[in-house]
Every structure is written in C-alpha cells, then in structure tokens.
Amino acid sequence: MTDPPFDDPSADQPGTVRCRDVHGTLHTMRLTAVDVFSSPGARLPTRMVSADGGPPLLQKWVARTSSGEPGPLDPLDREVRAVMRFALVFAKSYPAELPRLRYYDVDGDDPFVLLEPYRGMPVAEVRQQLAARDRYWFQVGLLKALHLAGAAGITHGGVGFDTLRWDAATRTVQLIDFEQAVRVGDPRSGTSDGGPADVRDDVWDAGLTIWRSAHPDHSGREAPDLSSDGGALRALLAGVFVDPPAARPTPEDMLAGLGEPTALQEPTALEIVDPGAPLREGLRTFDATVERTRALRAEEAQVNRPQPWAARFWTTLTGAGKRPQPAEAAEPALVRCPVCLDSYPWPDEELWLYDDKRGQYIRDTSSVRDPLRQEFLRLNSYRRCPNPSGDFTAHYLPATYHAFRTPLVVAMVGGPAAGKTHLLAAIIREVVEHGALTPYGLSAGPLDLHRHAEYWRTVIKLTEQGVQLPGTRERLTDPVYILLVRGPSGTWPVTFFDVAGEDLQAVGEADKLGRFLIGTNAVIFVHGLEPIPERSGNQAFEMSLAKLRIVQDHARLPAVIVATKSDRLRYRPPIDRWLRTERDPLSPVNAELLHSESRDVYAFLHHRREHAALAPFSVFDRCTLHFASASGSEAAAQKELFPRGFESSRVLEPLIAILAMAGMIEGEQARRVGT
C-alpha cells in the first residue's frame, strides 16, 4: 500500500493502493473505509471498504507491530492461497459456501486481501436461536462447505462457530477465515507429526461443532460421549473422533450418511475446473522433446565418433589436475581471456595492483622475493591481458585466475529488466554468505578480493537493506563476480558475466560487448515473468543463441532457463507448488526433482505461448528449467524498496544444475541432471 490502513476502521479517508486480481494483473485503486466489520474467527483486522467508489468489499490486512514494523504475513498468505485456489477451481460456477477473492496485495508495506462481502450472520451469534430443522441444515451446510474446500485441495485448520456464517433466508452455511489453511498434501502446520494435510483433518473440529450445535455445554477438544443424548448424532459422528485423520470419514461420507448429496452431485451441480489441465499439452511436448534428444544421443554413442570439442573441454575442466605439458614443448601453454577471447601465454611475472583511491590499476614495483610473501601478494594482485588482437581496452584478471582447473565461465543472458542482476546477487549471497554449496561437497569464496569488496558494498549490502538494485549499466565488459569453488577432485574459478540486456540485443559496433558469449562454457537464460505473457519474442535470447551457435559443439554446453519474478504469479499453478517447495539445505542433488520442475516450467511457458523463452531448450542437449524469485516480492511503487526485505526463493537451483552438468558436483544423480 502507498498509504497505510487507517487506525480507525470507520474512517473515510481514501488511500491509493496497488493490488492484483485473480489473474495476477496489477491494478491501482483508491480504497475508502465505509463501515466497521468484525469476524469472530479472523486473526487479521477487518473492515468494509469501497474500491474507486464501487460496491462494498471486505478487507483484511496485516497490522503493524508495536514498533511500526510490518507484521507476520503468514495468515494473510494462507488466506490468499486458499481463496485463489477456490477462484481457479470454481472459475465457471462459484459456490456460496466459500469466500470469494477480488484483489490482493502481499508485496506492499501493509498487505491485504479484498473479498466479496460475507453472507449471513456469524454462527457464534445465532446458534442458540437455531431451531431443530435449522440445526439439521446447518450440519448439511457445514459438511458441504468442507467438501467443497477439500475438492479444491484446501484444509481449513480452524473450523468452529467463529469461522462459520448462517444465512437464514437460504438455510445455507458459509465457511470463512482461511488464515490457517493448508493445501492438501502439504505438511500439516501446528502438529508434531508433520505429515501431509488431508481433507479429513477438519472432520474432528467439524464433528465438535455439530455436536455443540445440539449440546452447547460441551467445551474443549475432547471427544464427546455420543450416547449421552440417546445417540441421536451417533450415526452421523461415528468414526469422527479417531486418530489418525485417515481413519475418519470424509465430509462426503458424512453427507451420504445423512442422505444428502454434495454440491457436486446435485441436479444443479457445480462444475469443477482442473487448474492443471491447460498444462498438459506442454507436458507432452516437453516429454517428446526430451525423448528426441535422448534418441539422438544414443545414435551418436553407437556411431562411436571421435571425441568432440566439448567433450575434450569438459575433460579438461573436470579432469585430474591441469593437463601436463611435455617437458620438451617449445611453446608455453596458451590460456584464453574471458573478456576479449584472445589466447596467449599466461604472464607469470608482471603483477598489477588496484588503487582504490585513484580507481585504476598500477604496476607492482615491489621486489618481494620470499616465496610465501609472493604467494600472498598474488592473492590480491592482477595480471594485465596483453590482448594480442589490440581491439579491446585494457583489462585485468586476478593473478591466480589460471592457476587452477579450466575456469567455468557462466553467461547471464536476458533482456532489460529480466531480473539478471537480482538473481545473480541472490545466488552470490547464498553461496558466499550462507555456504549453500556445502551439502554438495563444495566450498566457495571470492577469487577476486577487490571485486568481491566492491560487489558487497554496491550490491549485497543494498539487498540486505531491502533496496531494489539498479539495472546493469550498459557497455560493461568485465566479469561481475568470480567465485573460487573447491571440491574433492579440484578447484575451479567460476566467472559470472552479467551484461546489460540492451547490449545483448545490440548489433553492429556495440555487438562486440556480447563477444564474451562465445568464450563461455555455461549459460543461464533469465526470463522475467509478468502476469500478461510476453509473446513478441526475446531478442536477448535470439541474439545470444546466434552468437553461441558459432561455437563448435555448442549444444553440449550446460544451460538453464530461469523464470524469474515468479512471486508475481505465486498463487497460480504450478508456480504455487514450486515456490512452496524450498530446497532441503542438507539434501544432495535430486535429478528427478529437477526434471519434474523443468517439465512444469516448460509446460507453463508453453501454455502462455512464451515460446521465445523456451528456445534454448531445443538448442542444448542438457538444459534444466526453474522457477525463482530473487527478491521474494515486488518493490514498492516509487520507493525502490522491498517492504519485507530481500527474501529470495529457489535461486540456488539453477547454479546447482549448472555445476552438476559441468561435472563439478559428483555422483550418479548429478550426472543425470539435464538428461
């Protein structure tokens, strides 16, 4: 929100807000509080508002803490996740038994949700006035509401009189306040077993509510004595108060016991929409593409052709140590500069130091002879590339850059505002600050200490403050960051290039800025997701692929496609599943899980007809696809700040896939990644 919610719920002062509808489309509107509202079961504050002078809507929002900081988002997130699921599943015909979503904002300073007004009155206020016949329809309505929620894959988590409303005119029930809701199959919240949530989890509370509608003196969570009233409810509640939940009847079973149909069985039955149905064509296309690639590999293996360039390269990259040179070799070994791509003998004497005050490199004129001190000096010094072609400005590499295995040069490819800068910052933060490669048998730190200090000051510190990063400056040619990754079988520099999207798209003289691409040996393609699909092509991808195609056996390079900014569509399938599936920090590589995510990302982009974003998948033999959110939310309008800080999600998976495909992560699962 641009303006925080009003302390006085009855205030009529307008506030300008940004929010999304059920399709994820962003709207700007003015909200005016029009009436007070109280829901006994709500954990969030509530009131009635008008959007742009329209009909009243129910607003729930996250209250600030006593210190003025943003409050916990979880209750609102669960509510929005549930009502969004209802909007998708019941898109063709919506049941009156469930709340209905209109708009939401989970990115702003004061997150909120706007719902259609609830029906009827709180059951907590009217239950003592219910006649026997009304109590019967109350029981039926409660079970129908639970069945509908379960049909959408949602468990409520807090069923009771406070979360139910009774519409006396229609004798129907509405189940509300899904602030403790859990998706069926997700881990249960607030329980010790942590097992997957089940539609029968709510049956115990529903049974207590039904019992108390006839026996108001019962309290607590203990099972009632079903024979105490002559057994009138014994048949209906048989098996309800047992554990585990899987042994209980479902709401549909209980309705059948009453001889009542569910809302999906009535003559005017609701039509359920499968939100995953639109993805099926894309899943089939993905599977067919993978099978074709595997068949081609099998044919090549049978031909037993000579080892191609790429295979020789990966042997060098992952082989046991640097390739020894014959003692009688007259010419020194050549190395390739990742910036200008020239090959030359690596200079082993002249060192350069970076002068922070003058902002330039200066020749080291010291005469250090002690081997230990010389080694220490090399840690923070550079060697100047001679650029034999003479077509590039002066540039420098860390003095130890070619002292290890063949460097892995990773290109970040994406158009302007795709999210490359934020994604790389999130990856580096995870690797360097959180030691995220440790479970994979690797350790990592900065190779270029000066570049690291500058990156930490100008990028990482900003993310820690929740500041939105500026886009990559145009006409940058140097690597952004150089990691030094150590594993059981060796040590590698891992060099990241992040060139501005405008430069990647350039042609003519400016096209030289993308020259680094043909010297890379791994590619991260970054595609920023928006609610309205981008179907006009992806020039950064197209131009980069055109350059990469001149590389011999380019198809053998490891590649990943990352759908960034996934938080903007976080409640839509299949993104909702993957952003909730956080990587186990102690888990090894899981090739099956990476393959499953790749299928879903491919199907999602295929359904949206964002075919340009999928182009790399048909170019590279080993390619994985990923959903990721570098910041976790969208920056506040005109503030360039993330109100809840920089909270990345699933940003490490693309790097893990690259390292596995490059052979730097070992093991059978790693070898299967991208195949």
DSSP state, 393? -
Chain centre to alpha carbon of residue 11: 38
pLDDT at 109 over 50: yes
Position of tokens 């892995």?
408
Residue 633 corresponds to which tokens in the numbers above? 């939310």
Tokens of 5: 């919610």
Q: What is the mean pLDDT of the chain?
A: 87
**Whether 314 contacts 639, CB under 8 Å:** no
Residue 34 has pLDDT above 90, yes or no: yes
Most confident of 213-222, 275-284, 328-337: 275-284
Q: What is the pLDDT of residue 267?
A: 63
Q: How many CB atoms lie within 10 A of CB 53?
A: 10
User: How far is 326 from 118, CA to CA, in rounded Å?
Assistant: 82
CATH number of 14-115: 3.30.200
Domain covering 121-277 assigned CATH 1.50.10.10 in the classification = no
Residue 402, token pair as written in the block? 């070619």
Direct distance between the N- and C-terminal alpha carbons of the chain, in angstroms, rounded to an integer: 45
Residue 555 has pLDDT above 70, yes or no: yes
pLDDT tens across 251-261, in order?
A: 999 999 999 98
Q: What is the largest CA-CA distance in the chain?
A: 103
The order of strands in the sheet holding 172-175 is 121-122, 164-167, 172-175
What's the rounded mean pLDDT across residues 592-609?
A: 97
Give the lowest-confidence range in 59-73, 172-186, 308-322, 645-659.
308-322
Mean of the pLDDT values across residues 366-391? Answer: 82
Asked if 353 and 396 count as a contact pair (C-beta separation under 8 A), the reply is no
Domain regions of the chain by residue span: 14-115, 121-277, 398-672
Task: Provide, rounded to the nearest whole percent, the portion of the chain with pLDDT above 90.
Answer: 61
Per-residue pLDDT at 539 exceeds 90? no
- Mean pLDDT within 164-192: 90
Average pLDDT, stretch 304-322?
Answer: 50
pLDDT at 51 > cutoff 60: yes
- Residue identified by tokens 């020789």 is 312
Going by DSSP bridges, is the β-strand pair 26-36/382-384 parallel, antiparallel, or unpaired?
Answer: unpaired
**Least trusted range by pLDDT, from 10-19, 205-214, 402-411, 424-433:** 10-19
CATH for 398-672? 3.40.50.300
Residue 557 has a pLDDT of 94
Mean pLDDT value of segment 217-221: 88
pLDDT above 70 covers a percentage of the chain that reads: 89
Residue 227 pLDDT level (bands cut at 50, 70, 90): confident
What pLDDT is stored for residue 377 in this prediction?
A: 77
Is the pLDDT reported for residue 276 higher than 50?
Answer: yes
At 372 the pLDDT is 76
Q: Which letter, b or e, does each residue of 101-110 get, where b requires 16 or more Cβ atoms within 10 Å of its Cβ?
A: bbbbbbbbbb
All residues at 6 or more sequence positions from 407 whose CB lies less than 8 Å from its CB, including other chains: 338, 401, 492, 493, 494, 495
pLDDT band at 180 (very low <50, low <70, confident <90, very high): very high
The DSSP-derived string for 394-415 is --EEETTTTSSSPPEEEEEE--
Q: Which residue has the tokens 């100008």?
A: 458
Q: Alpha-carbon dihedral of residues 31, 33, 38, 39, nearest 10 degrees?
A: -10
Per-residue pLDDT reduced to its tens digit, 449-461: 999 999 999 999 9
Give the model's pLDDT for residue 656: 96
The predicted pLDDT at position 512 comes to 59
pLDDT > 70? residue 97: yes
- Please state, in angstroms and as integers, the Cα–Cα distance from residue 107 to each residue in 173, 474, 632, 635, 646, following that order: 32, 29, 9, 7, 11
Q: Does the pLDDT at position 12 exceed 50?
A: no
Output 376 or 120, whichever has higher pLDDT.
120
Mean per-residue pLDDT for 619-634? 93
How is residue 623 written in tokens?
A: 């390619």
pLDDT of 323 reads 44
Decide which of 150 and 341 is more confident. 150
Query: Does the pLDDT value for residue 290 go beyond 60?
Result: yes
Answer yes or no: are the C-beta atoms of 187 and 209 closer than 8 Å: no
Closest alpha carbon to 84 in 197, 183, 200: 183
Q: Would you say the C-alpha torsion 379, 382, 385, 391 has a positive or negative sign?
A: positive
